[in-house]
Amino acid sequence: MSIQTVPTTPFAGQRPGTSGLRKKVTEFQRPGYLENFVEAIFLIVGSGGGCGLVVGGDGRYFNREAIQTILRMAAAHGVARCLVGRGGILSTPAVSCVIRKRAAFGGIVLSASHNPGGPDGDFGIKYNIENGGPAPEKITEAIHAATRTLNCYHISDCPPVDLDRPGSTRIEGMTVEVIDPVADYAELMARLFDFDAIRALFARGFRMRFDAMHAVSGPYAQAIIEGMLGAPGGTVVNCTPLEDFGGGHPDPNPVNAAELVAHMNGPDAPDLGAASDGDGDRNMIVGRGLAVTPSDSLAIIAANAAVAPGYAKGITGIARSMPTSRAADRVADSLGITCFETPTGWKYFGNLMDANLATLCGEESYGTGSHHIREKDGLWAVLFWLNLLAVRGQSVEEIVRGHWARFGRNYYSRHDYEAVDAGAADALMEALRARLPELAGRTLGSFRVAEADDFVYHDPVDGSVATHQGIRIIMADGSRIVFRLSGTGTEGATIRLYLERYEADPARHGLDTQAALADLAAIADDIAGLRQRTGRAQPSVIT
Ligand code: G16
């Protein structure tokens, strides 16, 4: 065994996006591509001064190869100890949990989240810091800068580590510990939620279907929901993580989890439907005949936080990403706490949680979580809903409608134009930016524009500023049109259009969402020239 210094040259485009570096698997397989990025990580974050590094991924194609490379490079960089999930498996929330519980100095997460996997699919790598959360922009930017000047990387030539055998091995001066991927996480969940009440709920005949979408949350959901909470076998479906997610798109929304939604609309629908994504940090909640929007789910969790023992003392604040609906803001107002508005990307919540300014965080992109870790957490959200249903004894629909009756309903939808020509997408955003000054005060259809800007975030904790975070057109009645470009796609550009309309009157809470938002969608198309500039007659995905 010896440490090799391998000459290399920089690859263009290794700048992390919304959530780490995501590219096609074939790009990551180019000789030196992964190694260069990992070298840059270690150059910036160092070897951890004797603390551990957590490594794991969602089990997608190339996960195992990438882990072996990372272990050999960690050893070459003098890391003392690496904790790896058995089989290379660790969900994103589990990585965050293990970093915090075992006081590791950081973690490397291998996942492209909800993006499809397999040899022609996507792969990704992300660095998390010692609080368990995604590295903030100052670190990701430094890593990117380092990738641009590399001329060599360092790696041990040791043989592969057996990732399937629990226990310790040594590589150079480093210990590799293969750990149970579920245990630490399950223990944390049992402390946050009323497992006795949920067990009693299942014992009363409550039925649920959890669709793990052939991805990483399967083993976690099986161990906790079927194992610890006593749900009948078969409650968790598609529960074995597959390298290509069974050819599916492991994104829990009504389009990609259409099978679950159909089941929940069918004659034998169970009481609760839920799904999680590729790496286990997203969630979708579905009642009989009703899919709960992520924005509503955040608001409902916030309004009912005290039902769960982990939140019985109350919440200090809420944070939501800018495009997420303002349903949570109304709950925050009623509780007399702040609702922070941050740019898209879970990394922006970390400072707020560390400073105890926000307890609950959520995003329209099916992400919800709390300060128990520093990642969004799919199974956590599902367990919260189980706890809520157990305590309240109402159906999902009754809870949602009751919430709207109390706070009003924020009709909400996202329209995605995927794999658009990147130049055309940039031109669309530029043209919109140029129009912002003349939009304020104008009347568009039945709406008056109160404010139109390019969202800028001033972090209240460290004072950092993030610019160009999405274009907001805010109407006088609180309705909103938001445009931004996705930072997680791997093909061309994805334009996201977010539409929101507030309705206070309970008599008008039963409208079809798209019908309720049709005026705003037409205005958005008119202002941005969406159809004309993209050449698309309609969005590729509507959630
Ligand atoms: C990531 C981020 C989220 C973000 C989502 C969509 O989620 O962690 O904060 O909302 O991407 O980002 P974009 O709109 O830029 O594509 P995940 O689940 O992919 O890690």
- Same domain assignment for residues 330 and 303: yes
- Same domain assignment for residues 468 and 376: no
pLDDT of residue 421: 93
Ligand 1, atom 7: closest residue by C-alpha: 19
Query: What is the SS3 assignment for 524?
Result: helix
Q: Is the pLDDT of residue 508 over 80?
A: yes
> Which of 145-149, 411-415, 487-491 has the least mean pLDDT?
487-491
- Structure confidence by residue, pLDDT tens digits, 423-473: 999 999 999 999 999 998 999 999 999 999 999 999 999 999 999 999 999
Q: At what angle do helices 378-392 and 195-203 cross, to 10 degrees?
A: 70
Give the model's confidence band at 1: pLDDT under 50 very low, under 70 low, under 90 confident, else very high. Answer: confident
Query: What is the SS3 assignment for 219?
Result: helix
Give the model's confidence band at 49: pLDDT under 50 very low, under 70 low, under 90 confident, else very high. Answer: very high
- Same domain assignment for residues 398 and 416: no
Q: What single-letter DSSP state applies at residue 295?
A: H
Active site annotation includes 217 = no
Any atom of ligand 1 within 6 Å of the Cβ of 281: yes
Question: What are the E-state strand segments in 117-218?
Answer: 122-128, 152-156, 167-171, 174-179, 208-211
Question: In whole angstroms, what is the distance from residue 434 CA to residue 426 CA?
Answer: 12
Any atom of ligand 1 within 6 Å of the Cβ of 368: no
Looking from the CA of residue 18, the nearest atom of ligand 1 is 15
| Percentage of residues in the chain having pLDDT higher than 70 | 100
Produce one character per residue of 198-208: b if its CB has 16 or more CB atoms within 10 Å, e if not.
beebbeeebeb
Give the model's confidence band at 491: pLDDT under 50 very low, under 70 low, under 90 confident, else very high. Answer: confident
Domain holding 313: CATH number? 3.40.120.10
> What is the secondary structure of 492-517 as a DSSP string?
SEEEEEEEEEEE--GGGTTS-HHHHH
From the list 113, 217, 413, 479, the catalytic residue is 113
- Same domain assignment for residues 95 and 150: yes
Query: Distance between alpha carbon 317 and the CA centroid of its chain, in Å?
Result: 20
Question: In whole angstroms, what is the distance from residue 473 CA to residue 286 CA?
Answer: 30
Q: How many structural domains does the chain have? A: 3
- Same domain assignment for residues 67 and 140: yes
Any atom of ligand 1 within 6 Å of the Cβ of 219: no
Give the model's confidence band at 487: pLDDT under 50 very low, under 70 low, under 90 confident, else very high. Answer: confident
Report strand pairing: 272-276 vs 208-211. parallel
- What dihedral do alpha carbons 505, 506, 508, 513 form, nearest 10°? 110
Residue 345 Cα to ligand 1 midpoint, Å, equals: 6
Cβ contact 378:93 at 8 Å: yes
pLDDT of residue 255: 87
| Percentage of residues in the chain having pLDDT higher than 90 | 96
Cβ contact 339:303 at 8 Å: no
Residue 156 Cα to ligand 1 midpoint, Å, equals: 34
pLDDT of residue 178: 98
pLDDT of residue 488: 81
Cβ contact 95:107 at 8 Å: yes
- Structure confidence by residue, pLDDT tens digits, 261-319: 999 999 999 999 999 999 999 999 999 999 999 999 999 999 999 999 999 999 999 99
Task: Provide the whole-model pTM.
Answer: 0.94
Ligand 1, atom 4: closest residue by C-alpha: 345
- What dihedral do alpha carbons 189, 301, 395, 279 form, nearest 10°? -50
Domain boundary among 134, 161, 181: 181
- Same domain assignment for residues 211 and 71: no
- Domain containing residue 357: 185-407
Where helices occur in 77-182 by DSSP H, the ranges are 92-101, 137-147
Q: Is the pLDDT of residue 221 over 80?
A: yes
User: Other CB atoms closer than 10 Å to residue 503's CB: what's the count?
Assistant: 18
Domain holding 482: CATH number? 3.30.310.50
Any atom of ligand 1 within 6 Å of the Cβ of 184: no
Question: In whole angstroms, what is the distance from residue 349 CA to residue 18 CA?
Answer: 13
- Same domain assignment for residues 335 and 372: yes
pLDDT of residue 526: 93
Give the model's confidence band at 489: pLDDT under 50 very low, under 70 low, under 90 confident, else very high. Answer: confident
pLDDT of residue 31: 97
pLDDT of residue 469: 96
Any atom of ligand 1 within 6 Å of the Cβ of 345: yes
Give the model's confidence band at 65: pLDDT under 50 very low, under 70 low, under 90 confident, else very high. Answer: very high
Give the model's confidence band at 392: pLDDT under 50 very low, under 70 low, under 90 confident, else very high. Answer: very high
- Same domain assignment for residues 443 and 384: no
Any atom of ligand 1 within 6 Å of the Cβ of 253: no
Q: Which of 435, 459, 195 is nearest to 343 (CA)?
A: 459
- Same domain assignment for residues 416 and 458: yes
Ligand 1, atom 18: closest residue by C-alpha: 113
- Same domain assignment for residues 388 and 503: no
- Same domain assignment for residues 330 and 414: no
Cβ contact 84:136 at 8 Å: no
Ligand 1, atom 17: closest residue by C-alpha: 113
Domain boundary among 142, 166, 181: 181
Q: What's the mean pLDDT when you consider all of the chain? A: 96
Sign, CA torsion 371/376/377/381: positive
Q: Which of 8, 4, 65 is nearest to 37 (CA)?
A: 8
User: Other CB atoms closer than 10 Å to residue 142's CB: what's the count?
Assistant: 15
Spatial neighbors of 152 by CB under 8 A, at least 6 apart, are: 5, 6, 7, 8, 39
- Structure confidence by residue, pLDDT tens digits, 318-353: 999 999 999 999 999 999 999 999 999 999 999 999
Domain boundary among 373, 407, 441: 407
- Structure confidence by residue, pLDDT tens digits, 15-46: 998 889 999 999 999 999 999 999 999 999 99
Give the model's confidence band at 131: pLDDT under 50 very low, under 70 low, under 90 confident, else very high. Answer: very high
pLDDT of residue 19: 87
Spatial neighbors of 266 by CB under 8 A, at least 6 apart, are: none
Any atom of ligand 1 within 6 Å of the Cβ of 496: yes
- Same domain assignment for residues 453 and 440: yes
Q: In what order do the strands lie in the sheet with 338-342?
A: 338-342, 317-321, 360-363, 367-370
